Structures are given as C-alpha cells and as structure tokens.
Amino acid sequence: MGDPKGSLQENYSSLMGKARELFILQSMGSIIGWDMETKMPPKGIQQRSQQIGLLQKIGHRMIVDPEIGRLIEAITGNKDYDSLDRIKKRNVHLMKKDYDEETKLPEKLVVETAKQSAITVDIWKKAKVAKDWEMFKPDLEKLFELRVKAADILMDVKGAKTRYDALIDLFEPGMTAEIITEVFTGMRRGLVKTIGDIQGAPRKADPSILSKSVPVATQVKIGESLSELIGYDVTSPEAGGRIDETEHPFTAGYYDDVRITTHYYEDKFASSVFSVLHEGGHAIYEQNLPRDWKYQLVGTGCSMGIHESQSRFVENIFGRNPEFWSHYYPILCELTGGALAGLALDDFVLAINHVEPSKIRIEADEVTYGLHIIIRFEIERDLFAGKIGIDELPQAWNDKYKEYLGVEIQNDSEGVMQDTHWADGAFGYFPSYALGNIYGGQMLEKMAGDIPDYKEKISGGSFAEMRAWLVENVHKYGNLYDAADLIKVVTGDDLRIEPFLNYLDDKYSNLYGY
C-alpha cells in the first residue's frame, strides 16, 4: 500500500474526476433545456422530454455510483484528512451532500420528474396563452405529487422539519421557512411603509411615456449595447454569451457558454432593457467564478438567493440608478432614432422607477416586488403543509393579491399561471428572489463604504468599478460558503433587512420628494 497521504490525494483526485464528468453532463442538459425554450419546434416536446429524462437518469446513476461513496468514505476517514485545505474539504462536503441526497431518491422518481417537468412546462405555455387553468391543472398535479414524494425522502436525509424546508434547501442551503417567515414579516412592514410614502408624495411618475413604439430590431441593438456595458460579451469572436427571445427570460450555461434570454414588446421596450440587465447580472456572476475551480463543486454559484442578488444588483442598483441614465439616456435616444424625442431625462428616470402595486411579478417595480414573492412563499408553504390543494391555488392567489397588493386578478394567466417555476417543478425557489434583494442591500452598504464615489463612477458610464467589487467580494468565493456565511464574510454582518429598506427609502425619497 502506498503512502497514506498520497492515497488521500489520489482518492481526492478521483472524486474530482467524477465531479468533472457530472458538470459536463449537467452543462449539456442546460443547453438542451435552453434550446427547448428558444429554438425547438413545437412538435419536439415529447421527444425532448425523453432526452431530458435520459440525461437525468445518466446523471443520477453517475452521482449514486457506489465508487463515489467509497471515495468519500476513504477521504473523510483518512487520518490525514485535516491536511486538506478548506477548498478541498468544501468540495468533499458538497459532494457528500449531493451523494447522500441522491442515493435516497429512486431513479424512477428522478426520471419521471424530469419527463413530467418538460411536459408540464409545454402545457403551461399553451394554457397561459389560452387563459385556461383547467388545461394546466392535471399536469401540475402530477408534478406536485412527484415533488411531494421527493420532499418526503429529502426531509429525512437533510434533517429538515418539513417537506417545504427540504425543498427550500435545494436552492438556499440551510434556510428554513421559519427563518424566511420572520425575515419576510419585517420586510413586508418596511415595504408597505415605503409604498405608502411614495403614494403620498408630491411628485408622480407617468409610466405611460414608456409605451413609445420601438421596433424589435432596435431593442436587439439596445440589448447588445447594455450587455457590452456590463461586460457580458455577446458579439465579439471570443463571445461567451448570446441573447435570445423566449416567453419567460432566464439564464442558462456554464463558464464559457452562458446564454441569456429576453422578450420583446414593441410598445414596452423597457421590459427588454431590464430583463437583459437582470439576466446579464446572472451571466457575469457565472462567468466570473474562479477559473481554477471549473468542474469543481466550489466553482458554482453559492445559492439561488446570492445568484439573484447579483442579477438584481445589475438590474436595479445599477440599471435603475438615476446616475446611470444621466450617462446612458443620450445613447438610448440615439439608438431608438428619435422614438423618444421630447421625453425628458427626469421624466424617463421617474417612469422606470414608477412604484405601483401590479399583477405581474417580472414587470413589478423593486419596491412592490417583494410582496409578489411573499405571496408565492406563503402559498407554497401552505401547499406543502396540506393547508390548501392544487384546486385551490387560483383562489388563494387571487385573495392574496387583493389583500397584499390591492389588485384584482382578471384571469389565471395574469394570476396563478404567470410564472414558469411551478410548471418546472421548482417549488421552494421563489423565496430566493426576495432574499436576493436583501443580500444585495447588504452588499451595497458595504460597497458604498469601499467605493464612496461609486455613483460618480456610474454617472461617467462605468460599471467596471462595481463589477470589480462584486468579483472580488462575491464571485471569487463561488460556493466556498453557504449563503448565510458568505454574507458574513462579505459584509461582516448576519442577514439583515435594514440595508435594503434603507436603500429603497433613500432612493425613492429623492426621486419622489417625500
């Protein structure tokens, strides 16, 4: 037998070799998922569901390979285990977490869930267009039951108190519904106060001025311009990204091939502007993870909440910043070829920061947005607790929108069917959106201390300083920490809602004059 320390390193290298193969397979699945949403002809859905199911089966068999369990046991049981650095220990920890969870999930359940998810998304698209909940409901019920089965299994292996906690942990490791409920309760109070202050303010926004007609071809050029500005390359011979059109914007890919999507409406050009910035924020996070960690578990995003903090940082903290538009608005006017003639900068800035309770989450302003997420969180929590059933989702949704946002839902396409996430089986994902806002507020507070003149940099048309700060303080850590620990490393504080609420109050009191 060789030297024990050498054996430890050999086992670790073998484990990382298996991780590399898993990441390559997952990146393949990401691209065919992207194709399904962007380029695949309608007839291909059944065939695609089989392809996705097979990839999931292969991936599941790879992660539950007993050899992985043997390697993990050999590494963690080695007397020289503590000689591994923290990066290697984190890789082993994350691999063990995945292995322990996946070995408990039956292959049949994994494959059936993947197939049903692809079919349910396809049905959702059709049902949303038809405004027909009854068309969507049967497949959603099938998918929900599959996720319940998975949650029951994962509760045990994760040591989670509830089914819903087990699913939340898939997206936000270590987070629970109990913690989120407490955080969201405080956030809701703060948001309601800010909304009230804005509604009573002397200055008013006129969002109708954003309904100017801008051709899709022009919006494509605007998207490319904004992507270049934030450092997301979609046009050069060395580009690692691209922008395509889809029903629901998303980001997909890995390191050197990270693709974003948007949607174009001729009479709502701002929608594409901010979806490009939002998805571009996701993309530059993925592309700025440490190159040396590619194909390692530490070389992935920390959590979906941290991922969302990066996208909303670019979209809102940078992209809706008045200083940014003092620089970019003349460029936008030139790109649109006179379509915005006569529209003053101040009116434009107020319009893109218009705050008003609305029905559609992805079109919501950054103040009311959190209430959209709270509604979804509370519905998911009650659904997995058995307090409501799939049949009751539309009414529960409509009631909460009336109570929390004061809006009347007219049909289920603008209500319970507006998002793709449940159709995709991503129950437990929604809380990450609002947590991302909160994380972003804390990051901004720290960044403002490190770069006191960051607003001046933005007004000069530069995102470089903000991007460099995010790379150095967030991106470079990849998945070395869970989100709660990463926030403490970045900011020195535990999770706090006050920085985000203070950011909103400071920004909107200046904009609206209250």
For 47-106, the DSSP string reads HHHHHHHHHHHHHHHHHT-HHHHHHHHHHHTSTTGGGS-HHHHHHHHHHHHHHHHHTTS-
Does residue 67 fall inside a structural domain? yes
Place of tokens 């909303």: 312
pLDDT at 6: 55
pLDDT higher than threshold 70 for residue 79? yes
pLDDT at 362: 86
Q: Measuring CA to CA, which residue among 376, 384, 486 is closest to residue 439?
A: 486
Q: Measuring CA to CA, which residue among 232, 317, 318, 281 is closest to residue 475?
A: 281
DSSP H or E segment with residue 253 = strand 251-254
Residues 116, 186 within the same domain: no
pLDDT higher than threshold 90 for residue 340? yes
For the chain, helix, strand, coil in percent to 5 are 70, 5, 30
pLDDT at 474: 98
Q: 114 lies in which domain range?
A: 4-122
Does residue 164 fall inside a structural domain? no
pLDDT in tens, 265-291: 999 999 999 999 999 999 999 999 999
Residues 414, 274 within the same domain: yes
Enumerate the H helices of 104-132 as residue ranges: 107-130
- How many separate domains does the chain show? 2
The number of beta carbons lying within 10 Å of the beta carbon of residue 363 is 15
Residues 368, 221 within the same domain: yes
pLDDT band at 488 (very low <50, low <70, confident <90, very high): very high
Does residue 101 fall inside a structural domain? yes
pLDDT higher than threshold 60 for residue 149? yes
Distance in angstroms (rounded) separating the CA atoms of residues 105 and 487 = 31
pLDDT at 363: 86
pLDDT in tens, 39-59: 999 999 999 999 999 999 999
Q: How many CA atoms lie within 13 A of 247 on its CB side?
A: 17
pLDDT higher than threshold 80 for residue 479? yes
Task: Return the minimum-mean-pLDDT range out of 96-100, 147-151, 337-341, 469-473.
Answer: 337-341
Q: Measuring CA to CA, which residue among 303, 284, 320 is closest to residue 428?
A: 303
pLDDT band at 224 (very low <50, low <70, confident <90, very high): very high
Mean pLDDT of the chain: 96
Does residue 202 fall inside a structural domain? yes
Does residue 106 fall inside a structural domain? yes
pLDDT at 248: 85
The answer to whether residues 247 and 37 touch, using CB atoms and an 8 Å cutoff, is yes
Mean pLDDT score, 405-419: 97
Does residue 170 fall inside a structural domain? no
Does residue 171 fall inside a structural domain? no
The number of beta carbons lying within 10 Å of the beta carbon of residue 144 is 20
pLDDT at 2: 39
Length of the chain: 514
Residues 204, 285 within the same domain: yes
Residues 101, 194 within the same domain: no
Q: Measuring CA to CA, which residue among 82, 481, 76 is closest to residue 302?
A: 481
Residues 214, 93 within the same domain: no
Distances (CA, A) of 500 to 39, 193, 436, 506: 38, 13, 10, 10
Angle formed at CA 264 by CA 324 and CA 465, multiple of 5 degrees: 25
pLDDT higher than threshold 90 for residue 195? yes
* CATH code of the domain containing 259: 1.10.1370.30
Of the three residues 122, 155, 187, the one that is the final residue of a domain is 122
The answer to whether residues 187 and 172 touch, using CB atoms and an 8 Å cutoff, is no
Residues 339, 256 within the same domain: yes
Of the three residues 122, 157, 188, the one that is the final residue of a domain is 122
Residues 114, 181 within the same domain: no
The answer to whether residues 191 and 367 touch, using CB atoms and an 8 Å cutoff, is yes
pLDDT at 1: 37
The answer to whether residues 302 and 481 touch, using CB atoms and an 8 Å cutoff, is yes
pLDDT higher than threshold 60 for residue 3? no
Of the three residues 122, 142, 165, the one that is the final residue of a domain is 122
Bin 241: left if φ > 0, else alpha if -120 < ψ < 50, else beta. beta
DSSP H or E segment with residue 35 = helix 4-38
Distances (CA, A) of 493 to 32, 159, 281, 434, 445: 40, 26, 24, 18, 11
Residues 250, 319 within the same domain: yes
Q: Is 73 a catalytic residue?
A: no
Residues 6+ apart with CB under 8 A from 492: 446
Residues 444, 352 within the same domain: yes
List 101, 279, 308, 366, catalytic entry:
279
Does residue 503 fall inside a structural domain? yes
Provide the token pair at 135. 């068309």
Rounded (10°) angle between helices 431-450 and 464-473: 110
pLDDT higher than threshold 70 for residue 348? yes
